[in-house]
Amino acid sequence: MSSTKGFWKHADNGKIYAIECTPFGTIIGACGPLDPDNLPNLEEVDYGKETLIWVETTMAEGKLHRFNSQPMVKEGF
């Protein structure tokens, strides 16, 4: 089964986590907090199970939000 991997940012403290989910949204692994100035390739992250309960609880509280690591640049600027 394939999985979805992405960066998530904590709303209160700004820390960034890499989270791996099933296609149905079940969290199967996480890593972090990560250095925002040196984010790893999502395919090379060592996703662990140590923080799963914290990640699930924090997501349920609405405190983790998807984070795009690529800077947004408008054409012509």
pLDDT in tens, 44-76: 999 999 999 999 999 999 999 998 876 655 555
Mean pLDDT score, 30-46: 94
Identify the CA nearest to 29 among candidates 10, 64, 55, 57.
Answer: 55
Question: How far apart are alpha carbons 77 and 59 in whole angstroms?
Answer: 35
**Angle 38-66-17 (CA atoms, 0-180°, nearest 5)?**
45
Band of residue 34 on the pLDDT scale cut at 50, 70, 90: very high
